[in-house]
Amino acid sequence: MELFKRLADIKKPFAHACVTIGNFDGVHLGHQLLFSEVVRLAHLHHGTSVAVTFDPHPLKVLRPGGIRLISTTSQKIELIEAAGIDVLVVIPFDLDFAATTAEQFVDDILVGTIGVRELVVGYDYAFGRGRRGNIDFLKERGREYGFPVTVINALYKGGMLVSSTKIRELVAEGRMRDVRRLLGRYYQIRGEVQRGRQRGGRVVGFPTANLKISEEDLCPKRGVYVTQVIYDGKCYGGVSNIGYNPTFGGDRLVAETHIFDFDDDIYGRPIKINLLRHLRGEKKFSGPDELAAQIRRDIEVAHKVLEAARKEQLLCCEERPHR
């Protein structure tokens, strides 16, 4: 996939550009329908499949603190590439760009810079100053410039609308199986392993890899999760506690993960953590012994959940099984 992070870097319009536009937070199953249609049209016309998105998310600029994102920009890029898109254009979004009118966006960017020949959008998409660039506007502009507009209808799974808003709600409630149903994959957090107070192995008997979580980011419901940990291209089972570690009077929001059958030194190294299931809420224990006993019970349940997930993954070939 070819990546453009500045419009000025696009020197000429793309060959028969089949384009979709959106914020694509989470790259959920609804977004994947858009990408699938764009790829299909590009293949049909021997053209170029193009996705256009924004960084940061416009609401991060227009309503600071008003949105917590499902995916980082790097995750979004990875997932869009995996969807088979030929070209991804990531437009820097700031208050100056927010003043762009819908007419300017279509005339200067979609037509003048990208060379749109086919446009695919979601049923509720709107853009431009005052969100004037709605479906009716796009169809009218498409007739003027000669590009058809395909509108993808709302998608429902398990009676739930597949939307970034709904997924954020489910993540906050710890409903990870429903999250997976709408995302088409497990919800994932990622980062570099931090050096903590090293009580997990020395005091409790279960060493942990710690990731600091920002309170400004989308934070799953606090508590203990069954997890898969991806490190150095391999996938391991684990249990993670997301919270403040009240037993030891913690004051930082952190994800502490005990990785099964693993003893590498990974301080400062990047890991990814898939959240499979919320097991229980965070609890303050009387001391290390009571906490260790509960962790042993959590691990026993986690192995059962991971084994069921492993069998399912082998059947559907979606993801690599845990080790």
Angle at 61 between CA 56 and CA 62, to 5 degrees: 135
CA 238 to centroid of chain Cα atoms: 21
Question: What's the rounded Cα separation, in Å, for the pair 247 and 285?
Answer: 5
Torsion over CA: 241, 244, 247, 248 (sign) = positive
In the numeric block, which tokens belong to residue 239? 């249990």
Task: Dig out the tokens for 122 from the structure.
Answer: 């979601």
Paired sense of beta strands 2-4 and 87-92, if any: parallel
The yes-or-no answer on residue 256 being catalytic is: yes
Instruction: Spot the catalytic one: 103, 118, 173, 256.
Output: 256
H/E stretch holding 317: none
314, 260 in Cβ contact below 8 A? Answer: no
- The separation between CA 208 and the C-alpha centre of its own chain, rounded to angstroms, equals 24
Catalytic annotation, residues: 256
